[in-house]
Amino acid sequence: MTVGDSVLYRLCEYGRQNPSDRSFYFREYAAPQTAEISDESAWKFANPALDDFLSRDALRLDAKTARADNFRRYRLGQWVNGASSWLPREDWDACTDESVKVDTRTPVVLAFDGSISDDCTALTGCTVPSNGEAPHLFVVNIWQKDEPGWTVDRDEVDAAVKDAFKRYNVLELVADPYGWRSEIQKWAKRYGAARVVEFPSYVVSRMAPFTDSLATAIRQTQVTHDGNPNSCTSRCECTRKEHSTRRCNREGPQGKSSKDRRCRNKRHGLWPGRLARG
């Protein structure tokens, strides 16, 4: 249930504002808007069947695995504002671990998401676990627009990639080729085609499962990250949106309904965490 100009929302608003109207019966089952998702005492307000034919354990599982806006909408009976967030900030913040040190021996996957002028360009990484520890996401560098007419310095990006390969034990560099194909081809020649992998993030049928998997891992705190504030902004400003892949799959129209995650800042380096976990 999303706040907006819908028939159901207007009916609910009328019922709340006119409790004395005997010609209109209105009863609402909803948790208080200020309730935390984990507050089990608030669940009963929205779920009168709780502990009867609705299992409390089922809601506990949903609270751990569902997106926060979905849990509020479908389990707490709350109205949510605007487009649904792909990743609530509190979920991302809960995975912060600045104590993790990535040294030259730690195997990592790097991810590159480039832009030209209007967006950020990012080089990020994720450790590849070997002893059961959680994968750790970290920022190598982010280039952000800071003035009108700004364009990313491609030589500076290339130097950062070269430095990252010297500094870390890089198993793979996963790169979005859009607008940067010549650089990626140069990196493949320099480091080997087996270590430089193209991953077009605009292909929704491929990108959506990766973002779903990473979002679930973050909600369940199965990954950690370095707490970089720019990385937080990029991820937490993403919104979840359903549309047809016919309009966005540049590899060819598929005509299938799919789910994409759109944001003002790109989904910088989202996929290395999924690759490292898989």
Domain span at residue 131 reads: 91-277
Q: What is the pLDDT of residues 174-195, one digit of tens each?
A: 999 989 999 999 999 999 999 9
Left if phi > 0, otherwise alpha if psi is -120 to 50, otherwise beta: which for 181?
alpha
Q: Residue 158 sits in a domain of what CATH number? A: 3.30.420.240
Output phi, psi for 167, to 5 deg: -80, -30
Same domain assignment for residues 135 and 251:
yes
Same domain assignment for residues 65 and 169:
no
Residue 141 falls inside a structural domain: yes
What are the E-state strand segments in the chain? 107-113, 121-127, 136-143, 169-175, 196-198, 224-225, 239-244, 257-262
Claim: this prediction has a pTM higher than 0.75: no
Map tokens 């299938």 to a residue. Answer: 256
Q: What is the pLDDT of residues 12-69, one digit of tens each?
A: 889 999 999 999 999 999 999 888 888 999 999 999 999 999 999 999 988 888 877 7
Same domain assignment for residues 138 and 179:
yes
Work out the pLDDT band at 242, boundaries 50, 70, 90: low
Residue 38 falls inside a structural domain: yes
Higher pLDDT, 243 or 32: 32
